[in-house]
Amino acid sequence: MRKKTWIAMLLLPALLLAVCAPLAAAEDTLHVIQVKDLPEDFILGMDLSSLLAEERSGVRYFDFDGREKDLLQIMADNGITHIRVRVWNDPYDEQGRGFGGGNCDIGTALEIGKRASQFGLKLIVDFHYSDFWADPGKYKAPRAWEGLDASAKAQALYAYTRESLETLRDADVDVGMVQIGNEINNGLAGETDWNAILPMLAAGARAVREVCPEALVAVHFTEPHNRGLYSYYADLLRDYGLDYDVFGSSYYPFWHGTLENLSEVLTEINRNYGKQVMVLETSWPYTGEDTDFSGNSVNEDSWGTRDYPFTVQGQADAVRDVIDTVAHIPGGIGICYWEGAWITVGGASWEENSAKWEEFGSGWASSFAAVYDPDDAGRWYGGSSWDNQAFFDASGHPLASLRLFSLLRSGSGDQSRRETAPAPEEQPAEDLPNLLENGSFESGELSPWILIDRCRGGELFVEDKAVDSLEGSWHMHFWNPNRDSVDFDLEQTVEDLPEGSYVYSVSIMGGDCGETEIFAYVKVNGELRFTEPMRVTVWNSWDTAVIPQIALSAGETLTVGVSVKCQGAGNGAWGKIDCAALRAED
Ligand code: CA
């Protein structure tokens, strides 16, 4: 993990150049390397779950001639064949206020499905079987199913699936595929035991067969790069005798390993289990910039693999290669891009946008989600983390990359030309031992760190949460909903170091901090000697301060630390500190 941060830092200047490369060049001349032998019925899907909330927030979409159109028509005109929609059982609080993320329930699926059908598009229905987001880290049962035992839950899931699909069928929505659960790696509807999950999957599949016999039944997993994982799940499904057609995978190129690996694991699924395979979610950023004042999941600073630049052409190349890969896997039936139109609601500030996210559910979560998910959505609610991965700019005009889907079969432009990713930088030499104790907070204790806490209220503690850690599962956490209330130093003193030269480094990420004064520092014999400013931007964007050439004489005492002072914005300043290290220099 640590190494990757170094590499990301080294790559930054090159990436900025790539991002600043003229977008205009791509506008007229999208280069598409032909995908050979692409089957006629290959699924080119687009998840548009947030569409209605976006429209209610005032977002409009335009075609390549600048005419405002129904987004579904724009999709159909540009080669998309299927529209995917997530479905939550009841994403509203008791006062009827939506949780956000599109407030997606069967009603939104129905409305989007009816419009999709007008333009000859099929629907992929993605049941989460939860009242809000379900993924490997979240799989809470719908509130209406709380307290049910596993078999009663399977029965409820059957009835709900059946009733929901009947609603779509009765409105002549063309349902092409139904997912029983979303990224169910670790659980489904509050159950984690596969003895409980498998009967629920079977109940859902049975409802699909009964109501929509033409539709494919899909299961959906993620982390294809985790070797052996997919065979493990496929064995469970086979041994149980689950009736399903499609083994679906998420594949985000920055997080999920190589295309070669994806191809290998899905080929195995087809060969060994006879199932069709599909990438149910994929994406790539066209820019590193944020446009809605709510941080993005992927940006220039974030962790991940970058085989393509964050440009319009890079986005087209990335998606083209996923399509090319799946099209040549035995049993590979298609791909679906995730939320390709979840753009900014257009306000000039966080506050202006937040009002729309709250009212219309067009952000990833609203504050009202607190009744269901108090620890995450209810606290960190906000806007779109995906606006830089849309196929539309901030004003709703399509990017040239949207032409990809209609150009795949013919190819376009020079068939060898390709924007190249930044050249990989050399990796730093093997690290020398870290002279700090508990530099990554993995003991779960603060000691031997000293906290000089001038904060008023809020939270400040060592936290166990792997997804918020740069290394291991622990880090130093801070959050304060009040303005001008985050103010602390965190430091550690090391004695008896031999005379020599040292380098100190520490990493931070965070957000909603407003104006900040954050810096890493080094004291010698208690006297401040070096500082290095640090910045926080958005979740998962780690900033690493490095203070080299710390000359130390024998008998001197060295103190290293990080000082944090934040004004606060949005839901309150928050951040994570991790991976402090002090090493001898060569
Ligand atoms: Ca954003």
DSSP string, 268-295: HHHHHH--EEEEEEE---S-S--SSSS-
Host H or E run for residue 147: none
- On the question of pLDDT at 22 being above 50, the answer is no
Range 102-118 average pLDDT: 98
Q: Which residues surround ligand 1, an ion (CB under 5 A)?
A: 290, 292, 294, 296, 384, 387
User: What's the mean pLDDT when you consider all of the chain?
Assistant: 91
Residue 4 has pLDDT above 80, yes or no: no
Closest CA to 42 of 305, 350, 408: 408
Tell me what pLDDT residue 415 has.
82
Q: Quick: pLDDT tens for 153-200.
A: 999 999 999 999 999 999 999 999 999 999 999 999 999 999 999 999
> Is beta strand 276-282 parallel, antiparallel or unpaired with respect to 246-250?
parallel
515 is catalytic: no
> CA-to-CA distance for 260 and 265, rounded, in angstroms?
9
CB atoms within 10 A of CB 418: 15
Span of 41-50, 130-139, 417-426, 477-486 with lowest mean pLDDT: 417-426
Burial 328-349 (b: 16+ CB within 10 A, else e): ebebbbbbbbbbbbbbbbbbee
- Cβ atoms of 115 and 159 within 8 Å: the answer is no
pLDDT over threshold 60, residue 8: no
Among 54, 223, 281, 463, the active-site one is 281
Rounded to an integer, the average pLDDT of 211-238 is 96
Judged against a pLDDT cut of 80, whether residue 27 lies above it is answered with: no
pLDDT at 416: 75
Residue 418: per-residue pLDDT: 62
Distance 297 CA to ligand 1 centre (A): 8
pLDDT digits (tens, 9 = 90+) for 251-292: 999 999 999 999 999 999 999 999 999 999 999 999 999 999
pLDDT at 417: 59
Residue 25 has pLDDT above 80, yes or no: no
354-364: average pLDDT: 98
pLDDT at 537: 82
CA of 20 relative to ligand 1 center, distance in Å = 19
Segment 219-224 shows an average pLDDT of 96
Among the listed residues 322, 185, 336, the one whose alpha carbon sits nearest the alpha carbon of residue 253: 322
Residue 141 Cα, ligand 1 centroid: separation in angstroms? Answer: 28
Which amino acid is residue 458, in one-letter code?
G
Please give the Cα distance from 331 to 273 (Å, whole number). 11
pLDDT value at residue 379: 87
pLDDT tens by residue, 460-473: 999 999 889 998 89
| Site of tokens 């992929």 | 124
556 in helix, strand or coil?
coil
* Residue found by looking up tokens 């590193």 in the block: 288
Rounded to two decimals, the pTM is: 0.74
Averaged over 230-252, what is the pLDDT?
98
Beta-carbon-side half-sphere exposure of residue 477 (alpha carbons within 13 Å):
17
Average pLDDT over residues 200-226: 97
Task: Quick: pLDDT tens for 401-446.
Answer: 999 999 999 999 888 756 555 544 444 445 789 999 999 999 999 9
Rounded-to-integer distance, Cα 72 and Cα 404, Å: 16
Catalytic residue among 183, 223, 339, 471: 183
- The alpha carbon of 298 and the centre of ligand 1 are apart by a number of angstroms equal to 10
Give the N- to C-terminal CA distance of the chain in Å, as an integer: 22
Give the torsion through C-alpha atoms of 253, 254, 255, 256, to 10 deg.
20
Reading the block at residue 31, the tokens are 């280069």
pLDDT average, residue stretch 115-128: 98
pLDDT of 432 reads 85
pLDDT for 559: 97
Using the mean position of ligand 1's atoms as its centre, give its distance from the Cα of residue 341 in Å.
12
DSSP string, 402-423: GGHHHHTTT-BS-TT--PPPPP
Q: Which residues contact 568 (CB under 8 A, 6 or more apart)?
A: 480, 481, 482, 483, 484, 485, 486, 512, 513, 514
pLDDT in tens, 473-530: 999 999 998 889 999 999 999 999 999 999 999 999 998 898 899 999 999 999 999 9
Sign of the alpha-carbon dihedral angle for 347, 351, 356, 361: positive
Who's near 288: CB < 8 A, 6+ residues apart?
15, 19, 299, 300, 310, 388
How is residue 331 annotated by DSSP?
A: T
The pLDDT score that the predictor gives to residue 28 is: 57
Query: For residues 450 and 399, what is the distance between their CA atoms, to the nearest angstrom?
Result: 51
Residues 109 and 366: beta-carbon distance below 8 Å: no
Instruction: Check residue 421 and give its pLDDT.
Output: 55
363 Cα: distance to centroid of ligand 1 (angstroms)? 9
pLDDT of residue 6: 35
550-573 pLDDT, tens digit each: 999 988 999 999 999 999 988 889
- Name 517's bridge partners: 565
pLDDT-derived band at 24 (thresholds 50, 70, 90) equals very low
* 81 CA distance to ligand 1 middle (Å): 27
Rounded distance, CA 104 to CA 363, Å?
12
539 CA distance to ligand 1 middle (Å): 11
The whole-number average pLDDT for the span 71-79 is 98
* 304 pLDDT above the threshold of 90: no
Task: Quickly tell me which residue has 């496929």 as its tokens.
Answer: 234
Judge whether 556 counts as a catalytic residue: no
